[in-house]
């Protein structure tokens, strides 16, 4: 039995019959660590938009909301079940203890930005919510960054399907290349952010009469009894 073919037929049939709710449901399943490929869901929806059956911007919005909803489900599971859940069942979702440790370190270092960046990385974007819950990341920030981070990926896939039209299925043979291209963009964004952050801190530290406090804010220079104008 062609399992992949049956899955694709299920996805196409659901979107054709349910419309936007079908997109929401399927993208929610993907972000809840279920084996539903967004590389089939969004391009097909984009194709339907090219035929006038749907609106492209609504597809992207609904798909991103679905991703956020599914991410919340995974987040809650990780938050309340914690490490034991992932260590016991994570292997079924390609998550190992090493991945969990790396994710926890990632969240401690980058905070909510980790969620946004992860949405542009292959495989990681569908499982990042579990470690986010384990790390007990702020829920409001997690939800916001999950939604914002999902938009570029969903737009990219839907717009590709829109442009390709009836040839939308050709994207399935190349989606890994697309994923790696987006991964490069995501990594480049991280590198730029690190460079900009270090540069900003360096400028604060080297500025005459100022030093950086532990939280990164500028400390006021000592006046040794000086008046408000800085002179004795």
Q: pLDDT digit of tens for each residue in the chain (232 aa)?
A: 456 667 778 888 889 889 999 999 999 998 887 878 888 899 889 989 988 899 999 999 999 999 999 999 989 988 888 778 777 776 666 666 776 676 667 677 776 777 787 777 666 677 778 878 887 888 998 999 899 989 998 998 899 889 887 676 665 555 554 455 545 555 555 555 556 556 666 665 555 554 444 444 444 444 444 444 443 3
Question: Is residue 60 one of the residues assigned to a domain?
Answer: yes
pLDDT score recorded for residue 128: 78
Question: Is residue 102 one of the residues assigned to a domain?
Answer: yes
Question: Is residue 227 one of the residues assigned to a domain?
Answer: no
pLDDT score recorded for residue 224: 46
Kindly state the helix (H) or strand (E) to which residue 211 belongs, with its residue range. Answer: strand 211-212
pLDDT score recorded for residue 62: 97
pLDDT score recorded for residue 212: 47
Question: Is residue 215 one of the residues assigned to a domain?
Answer: no
Three-state DSSP at 232 gives: coil
Question: Is residue 216 one of the residues assigned to a domain?
Answer: no
Among candidates 154, 175, 30, 177, which has minimal Cα distance to 93?
30
Among candidates 181, 177, 171, 67, which has minimal Cα distance to 127?
67
Rg (C-alpha) for the chain, rounded Å, is 22
* Number of domain units in the chain: 1
Question: Is residue 79 one of the residues assigned to a domain?
Answer: yes
Altogether, the residues listed in the chain come to a count of 232
Q: Name the residue range of residue 181's domain.
A: 3-206
Q: Cα 142 from chain centroid?
A: 10
Helices (H), strands (E): how many in the chain? 10, 2
pTM: 0.67
């Amino acid at each position: 039995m062609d399992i992949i073919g049956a899955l694709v037929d299920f996805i196409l049939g659901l979107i054709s019959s349910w419309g936007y709710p079908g997109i929401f449901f399927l993208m929610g399943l993907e972000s809840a660590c279920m084996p539903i490929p967004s590389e089939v869901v969004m391009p097909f929806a984009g194709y339907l938009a090219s035929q006038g059956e749907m609106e492209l911007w609504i597809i992207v919005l609904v798909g991103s909301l679905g991703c956020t909803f599914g991410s919340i489900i995974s987040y809650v599971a990780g938050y309340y079940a914690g490490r034991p859940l992932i260590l016991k069942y994570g292997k079924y979702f390609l998550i190992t203890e090493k991945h969990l440790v790396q994710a926890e370190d990632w969240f401690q270092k980058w905070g909510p930005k980790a969620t946004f960046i992860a949405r542009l990385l292959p495989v990681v974007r569908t499982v990042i919510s579990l470690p986010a819950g384990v790390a007990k990341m702020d829920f409001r920030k997690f939800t916001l960054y999950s939604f914002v981070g999902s938009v570029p990926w969903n737009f990219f896939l839907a717009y590709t399907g829109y442009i390709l039209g009836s040839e939308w299925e050709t994207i399935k043979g190349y989606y890994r290349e697309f994923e790696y291209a987006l991964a490069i963009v995501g990594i480049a964004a991280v590198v730029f952010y690190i460079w900009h952050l270090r540069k900003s801190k360096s400028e604060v530290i080297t500025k005459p009469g100022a030093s950086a406090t532990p939280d990164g804010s500028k400390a006021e220079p000592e006046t040794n009894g000086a008046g408000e104008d800085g002179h004795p």
